[in-house]
Amino acid sequence: MKNIAYYNGKIAPIEEMMVPMNDRACYFGDGIYDATCAVNHVPMHFDAHVDRLYRSAELIDIRIDMPKEEMKQLILDLVAQVEGDTLFVYVQVTRGVGMRNHAYSGAATGPSIWAFVRPCKMRDPYKAYPCITMEDTRFLHCNIKTINLLPAVIANQRAMEAGCEETIFHRGERVTECSHSNVHILKDGVLKTAPCDNLILPGITRAHILDICARKGIPVIEEPFTLEEMMDADEVFFSSSSALTSRVCAIDGKPVGMKDEKTFAIIRDTYQEDVAKECR
């Protein structure tokens, strides 16, 4: 198949899938999601993504009735039916279906499970990309991977309009993350990345980058960094399951980084090797 979608037991091509108008996703964005890429039909960092899906659900009082192992098997079954070497894998859980009402206690049928799989292309990890910055006006629960993504949608659109690849958010002078990835800097051979507080989503790829640094002897500081520090960094890069480790060459039209290819290459190439081993 070219693509496939799932909704509460129904399976069909994405273009044919229909969902109830009263699913709380439609009115309130009342749900959470997770996503990764599958290489050679093996989802990247699979357990970590499924664990984060269930963790996000718990943080907004959604109890996923489907056990984790059953969820994993569902996803693997969908992945197996779609053609392509690299696939985008998306899973979403909403609070369920019920007449529109802000209060959710007793109002919904129980969680709705959505999923789809389609071919995709991951970014070229050997290219460098321009970015823009934007004030971070999102809510204060960025650690929950909710489907309330309007600020990120607008930010990414602004990046595309500027001919750039990503928007880097900041709250005042503090850099937080990007519209759909984490952002990191290298300075004097040290990796600096934002701490896992409520202002960023703790990325799965971010966690693997920290593991690589530990294995390769690259010092890491998990502390907030500023716009000024970012513009003065030896390297700036962003990371996610589809972005992998993407180097930044310019921010707001000003050249940045591109001064420590050696350290960045260790992180990039080791990550590529790890993914290849995991998904072979």
pLDDT in tens, 144-194: 999 999 999 999 999 999 999 999 999 999 999 999 999 999 999 999 999
C-alpha span between 252 and 132 (Å, rounded)? 5
User: Does the annotation count 33 as an active-site position?
Assistant: yes
Same domain, 63 and 188: no
Q: At 103, is the pLDDT very low, low, confident or very high (cuts 50, 70, 90)?
A: confident
Q: Is 223 a catalytic residue?
A: no
Domain match, 134 and 245 both? yes
Which helix or strand (DSSP H or E) is residue 226 part of?
strand 225-226
Q: Domain ends where: 73, 95, 119?
A: 119
Same domain, 112 and 236: no
Same domain, 11 and 101: yes
Structure token pair of residue 172: 């005042």
CATH number for the domain that contains residue 174? 3.20.10.10
211-240 pLDDT per residue, tens: 999 999 999 999 999 999 999 999 999 999
Cβ neighbours of residue 120 closer than 8 Å, sequence gap 6 or more: 37, 84, 86, 87, 88, 242
Examine the pLDDT at 107 and tell me if it is beyond 70: no
Domain-terminating residue out of 85, 119, 153: 119
- Give CA angle at 165 (151, 168), nearest 5°: 50
Same domain flag for 208 and 248? yes
Same domain, 147 and 272: yes
Catalytic residue among 54, 145, 165, 271: 145
190 and 83 in a single domain? The answer is no
Of the residues 6, 7, 33, 271, only one is catalytic, namely: 33
**The total number of structural domains that make up the chain:** 2
Residues 263 and 158 in one domain: yes
Q: Which of these is catalytic: 201, 235, 244, 271?
A: 201
Same domain, 132 and 267: yes
For 42, the token pair is 């093996």
Q: What domain range is 188 assigned to?
A: 128-278
Known catalytic residue at 83 = no
On whether both 189 and 257 belong to a single domain, the answer is yes
Q: Are residues 111 and 29 in the same domain?
A: yes
Instruction: Note if 121 is an active site residue.
Output: no
Q: Which of 84, 119, 154 is the last residue of a domain?
A: 119
pTM exceeds cut of 0.85:
yes
User: How would DSSP label each residue in 215-251?
Assistant: HHT--EEES-EEHHHHHT-SEEEEEETTTEEEEEEEE
